[in-house]
Amino acid sequence: MSRTLKALSALLTYPTAELAHATGEIGEALDKDRRIPASVRDQLHRLLNEMASGDLYDLQERYVLLFDRTRSLSLHLFEHVHGESRDRGQAMIDLKSQYEAAGLMMSAAELPDFLPLFLEYAATRPASEASDILGQPAHIFAAIAERLRKRRSAYEAVFRALVAIAAAKPKDEEVSALLNLPDPDAHDLAALDAAWEDEPVNFGPGSGDGCKDNIIARVRGGMRPAPDMPQRPRS
């Protein structure tokens, strides 16, 4: 389980030459986990082949368009949880404390709800506990997988694999609730701006949220602007 989670975590990081060189080792680790269906392993190899042979600038641009500019595909888990924004600070602190208790130290630039980091944390836990941890945001994984399927993105396979190895399977109504939220095209700048607008904070009776996801239940998380698109060097 640990190697599988570390491999999936690596696949969701920003593409680099080092990541491209590691695709063979990543593929070997994923092939050994038979909890991942054969069809999903085939899709994962498609992604690995793209990373190994694709133009690095194209891969980086695709990554930014998908995961940084499109809120509905955000790799920050708390973006997908309907909580009160006034609670998110403490929730981030609580999650960071869980990481540190497991011996996982964060850099000052990292947010604890970033999925690759979340998977690194899960990789430090015993296999049964790691599966339980993955079951909590499984509906988020399923919704992102479906959105990536519609975009014909090979990244879909990473989220299908996470659902496959999670102890609890996503509930249809929870997945549908996420899929009913806006999902603008990354090239539609006006729609993207609207999707990233801050939501109002509600106070007083009835302002609490109804989510029950333990680690990621209380907060949507800190929203961050998308970084600049990577630019090709001028010849």
**Which two structure tokens, joined as six digits, stand for 115?**
């999925």
What is residue 33's predicted lDDT score, i.e. its pLDDT? 93
How far is it, in rounded angstroms, from Cα 166 to Cα 10?
18
> Distance between the two ends of the chain, CA-based, in angstroms?
45
> What six digits make up the tokens of 152?
């014909």
* Rounded mean pLDDT for each run of 10 residues along the chain, 235 residues in total: 95 96 96 95 97 96 94 88 62 85 82 92 94 95 96 97 95 92 63 47 35 32 33 40
- Contact between residue 41 and residue 28 where contact means Cβ atoms under 8 Å apart: no
Name every residue whose Cβ is closer than 8 Å to that of residue 223 and which is 6 or more positions away in sequence: 71, 79, 196, 198
* Burial classification of residue 84, based on how many CB atoms lie within 10 Å of its CB (0-12 exposed, 13-18 middle, 19 or more buried): middle
- CA-based nearest residue to 48, from 157, 197, 173: 157
Q: Are 142 and 164 in contact (CB under 8 A)?
A: no
Q: Let me know: does 163 contact 139? Beta carbons within 8 Å.
A: no
CB 74 within 8 A of CB 226: no
Q: Tell me the three-class secondary structure of the chain, residue by residue.
A: CHHHHHHHHHHCCCCCHHHHHCHHHHHHHHHCCCCCCHHHHHHHHHHHHHHHHCCHHHHHHHHHHHHHCCHHHCCEHHHHCCCCHHHHHHHHHHHHHHHHHCCCCCCCCCCCCEHHHHHHHHHCCCHHHHHHHHHCCHHHHHHHHHHHHHCCCCCHHHHHHHHHHCCCCCCHHHHHHHHCCCCCCCCCHHHHHHHCCCCCCCCCCCCCCCCCCHHHCCCCCCCCCCCCCCCCCCC
Could you tell me the pTM of the whole model? 0.77
Domain ranges of the chain: 2-181
